[in-house]
Structure 1
Amino acid sequence: PNKRNEASSASSRKLQLRPDPYTPSAKDASDPRTSLTRTAEEDRASLADHAVIWDKQRADLQLVMRSGLVYLDAFELVNGDHLVHPRIPVRELTLMLARMMYWGRLNHTPWAKYVPSWCFKKAESYLDNLDGAPARWPALKKLRLDDSAEVMEALFSGVGESEDDEDRDVTFKSSVEFKPQAPRTTPPREAKRRRGSVSSVSSSSTPTVTDPPSEPPAKRHRPAQDRRRSVLARKEYSELAPDELALVETPGRGVMYWRQYGILLKFAPGTANAIEQTTGFPDYTPNLAKVTEVEAVRTRWDPASFKVLWDLAPWDDMFNQRLKFLILHQLDHLNAQAKSSLVDIVDFMWKHRRAFWLTGHWFFIDHRLDDYSAELHADRKKECDTAKKNYKKLLDEKVRDGLPESVLEEPGIWTFPAKVCSWIWMDKSQLNDQGRPFSLAEQLRIVDKLEPARVQWNSCDSDDHRVAHLSSSLRKKLLPKSERRRYPVSTQRP
């Protein structure tokens, strides 16, 4: 393959500039001004019969489905020696090529050989200006769920990172992908992926340089609007009874909007920066499409109550209560360099423990309320963005130095989720056993128990629970109980 040394922001890494062989087609990528045939939500719902998760599918497969093909046809097209790029918008194609070039995966992606040269040049330019490493480009896999219960849980997980918007107050820009649509980006451990074997699909033995039929099948009937909403989401916020403000709804199949403590939620929309959430992490965000819903969220922000929680420094507890031992790997099987890498990683976790906590508990701040709120709003974003970016660099560096990537799946190695995890505060009308409004510390204990990924699995009742979100192959690596407290993650910081 044709390669060169990249001495700029690509960390002096050898980049594969073109596939080998390379037989470019005259056809261009999809016009970015042309809308895709289907939405991600429609295609996610269409996968129910296949027992696969939309968010675990590779980016090219997702976009080919959105161009009009059903899952099996899209998988065969992407997996085989076919022309694919005319179905993919230029911007998304550039990002995909950059990932393949950086990680040397062009020869493992058959359709890349037909992409015009100018598209590769755009990807080169993107890499030249990239600060850090792009997300890894995974092998194409038919990822299936373990059982029907998991299907229902995963089908309606979010698709991407929330957009940066002052009303949404969800301002994270990361390069990554949720659950494992495929691999996760080493850095922020973006998405922990299931690493099952690659399923092969028959493909033609000779390159096909003609675009397959692009007419999508007839659109399936869209369910009535109320069927996409939970019982409480069909009501206006002002219509909710006091006891309904205490309820936490769980979205059933096909439900896209629901309420938690009265606040209207939706699955976080995908963006160019984060299409998928990291496996196991919450992936919902307030739906602020209506002024009444925006006001409902804003009224929950209480600087005085928050300052009490802030003074408790819950991130210290999160670090002190972390899992301090390897439970999937034996330390004796790691070389000296890998052990040193673990020390550096845990040291980073300690120094940036507050950023990890904030990312896992992304509460709405009404930054227009006062100077304190405005300053906190700005500082939080800056702190978390910087820490996440540097953590990504650190993990990429350690993997390049020889740290087995599977070690990053250890619960004792923290993850910056691809998207921030919204924390919905209760309405003050909700009272505890003493007849007083729940304090934020009390609410924190509740949400961390329900969604342990927020505290890096610290609140799990067992090691089996800590690794339940991992692939079956990784779960099988769980050490015998007698060995799970034998190998410290770091020998320098207990």
Structure 2
Amino acid sequence: MDDASSEHEDVQPDANYNPDDDVDNQDDDDVQGGDSVPSAPKRRRTSISSHSDAPATQSTATSGTPSKRMRSGSLCRQSPLAQVDSGSLTVADTEIVEVPCPGISSWRHYEILMTFAPSSAHAVHQSTGFPDYAPNKAGGIQPLKQRFILAEVQSLLATEPWTTMFENRVKRLVLHSYSALAPRARMALDKYMRFMEKNASGFWHGGHWFAIDTSTQGGAVMQRERKRQWDALARTVETKQRECVAEGVPSTIFWEAAYWSLPSKPCYWILMNPRSLNNQGNPYSLAEQLDILDCREPARVQWGTATRDEELVGHIPKSVSMSLLPEKARRDNPASRTYD
């Protein structure tokens, strides 16, 4: 079977990329998932975009001809661009983030073949509100790893983007009144805030899970450290939240964006095709890509890039009987008097 045909046909559920499966390269294998106090059914949320400053559009046109050997059943489950061989995609095609319509299980995100995040040994459902997609194991994960440049990633991590994430976090409550909390509850939440600050790197990595090329020693070391950090945080975050509840904090307060929760599955960061150029005619830097990603999907930075209070609660299931406080009550309603 030729590569193009294989790429299109392998869209069955067992072709989905599962971090637990990639044992040979020890990349993202057997990662544990966070399961914080507020739990809710899986939500399949993706964004539609062709670039940061471009209108959100859905790709409907294709620039090539699907392989003749593709099965009709597979075609029905593929988006327009997923039906096109990678080699036939235009540069414009590779800049599109497709949205999967109902019934679609394979689509392209910056050219990379995607699918819904599969279940793992540690998590069946993604935490509500967080991105719920992953590279397709057959046609997505390897091309994505090829975009991993160790030196560039190391340079980005050296800037500690998680520090910026903590500094720019949501600092107000929009569902609960801080003044109504008992002193011991406030102290417990201050302690949780310290936990967030100390573990900001783990929270950031959980929302920005890039595919690491572990063929080099540096990549392998980076992967091991990230996995260690993620596993430790996944084992701890729920315990910390329950400790707050034991001190009189309402469990519903962890629906507030101000108090971070860990997604049950890492949220993949799909790097752009190197052929994509910014307004200056240069390939997008990782810092530029990070800004685009975080603005498009605020959940990755715990809603720190949201511009309206409504965005902070849009992910909460209707089964949770909560609503925004009146606007006046939200103005002077800090998540902490200690952390500002």
Give TM-score, length-normalised by structure 1: 0.56
The answer on whether the counterparts of 1:326 and 1:410 sit within 8 Å (CA) in structure 2 is yes
**Offset at 1:168?**
8.5
Aligned length: 298
1:246-261 pair list within 5 angstroms:
246-261=95-110
Residue 424 (structure 1) shift:
0.2
Q: In structure 2, how many angstroms separate the alpha carbons of the residues matched to 1:302 and 1:168? A: 18
| Match of residue 228 from structure 2 | 382
Is 2:123 the partner of 1:264? no
Which residue in 2 is equivalent to 1:356? 203
The Cα shift of 1:475 comes to 7.4
Distance 1:392 1:376, change over 3 A: same
Larger radius of gyration: 1
1:397 aligns with 2:243: yes
1:202 corresponds to which residue? Answer: none
Report the residue type matching 2:75 in the other structure. Answer: D
Q: 1:161 to 1:295 in 2, by over 3 A?
A: closer
Residue number among 276, 279, 297 corresponding to 2:144 in the alignment = 297
Q: Is 1:162–1:268's contact at 8 Å kept on the other side of the alignment?
A: no
CA drift at 1:414: 0.5
**Which amino acid in structure 2 is aligned with residue 424 of structure 1?**
I
Does residue 174 (structure 1) correspond to residue 33 (structure 2)? The answer is yes
Take 2:191 and 2:199, find their aligned partners in 1: how far apart are those partners?
12
Distance in 1 of aligned mates of 2:101 and 2:121: 27
CA offsets, 1:71-120, max 9 Å, x none? xxxxxxxxxxxxxxxxxxxxxxxxxxxxxxxxxxxxxxxxxxxxxxxxxx
Cα shift at 1:417: 0.5
Contact 1:274 1:418 (8 Å CA) reproduced: yes
Give yes or no for contact 1:161–1:273 (8 Å, CA) kept in 2.
Answer: no
User: 1:231: Cα distance to partner?
Assistant: 1.4
- Read off the aligned partner of 2:314 and give its amino acid letter: A
Secondary structure, in 3 states, of the residue corresponding to 2:114?
strand
CA distance in 2, matches of 1:161, 1:430: 28
Paired position in structure 2 for 1:165? 22
Instruction: Say whether 1:372 aligns with 2:218.
Output: yes
Q: Secondary structure at the match of 2:113?
A: strand
5 Å-filtered alignment, 1:121-160, equals none
TM-superposed deviation, 1:434: 0.2
Distance in 2, matches of 1:192 and 1:336, equals 33
| SS of residue matched to 1:390 | helix
Distance 1:313 1:191, change over 3 A: farther
Task: State, as a whole percentage, how many aligned pairs show the same letter.
Answer: 36
1:423-462 to 2 correspondences below 5 Å: 423-462=269-308
Q: Which residue of 1 aligns with 2:194?
A: 347
Q: Note the 1:232-243 alignment, pairs <5 A.
A: 232-243=81-92
Q: Who is 2:258 aligned against?
A: 412
Tell me the TM-score normalized by structure 2. Answer: 0.81
- Contact 2:207/2:266, CA 8 A, preserved across alignment: yes
Structure 1 residues 383 and 164: CA distance shift in structure 2, 3 A: farther
Partner of 2:131: 282
SS of aligned partner of 2:272: coil
Asked whether 1:227 is paired with 2:86, we answer no
Change (3 A) 1:223 1:481: farther
Query: In the aligned structure 2, how far is the partner of 1:316 from the partner of 1:190?
Result: 27
Deviations 1:438-474 (A, max 9, x none): 0111111111111110010111110011111113476
Give 1:493 deviation, angstroms: 2.0
Per-residue CA distance 1:340-393 (angstroms, 9 max, x = gap): 11101111000001110000000000011x221111110011011102211121
Distance 1:162 1:283, change over 3 A: farther
Larger mean CA deviation between 303-312 and 165-174 belongs to: 165-174
User: Is contact 2:17–2:137 with CA below 8 Å preserved after alignment?
Assistant: no
Residue 480 of structure 1: aligned partner: 326
Question: Partners of 2:172 and 2:204 in 1: how far apart?
Answer: 20
Distance 1:174 1:365, change over 3 A: same
Aligned equivalents of 2:204, 2:321: Cα separation in 1: 26
Aligned to 1:64: none
Gaps of 5+ in 1: 1-39, 42-158, 177-184, 195-221
Q: Separation in 1 of the partners of 2:128 and 2:111?
A: 26
Check if 1:470 corresponds to 2:304.
no
Per-residue deviation at 1:239? 2.9
Cα separation, partners in 2 of 1:432 and 1:475, compared to 1, 3 Å: farther
* Distance apart, 1:174 and its partner CA: 2.4
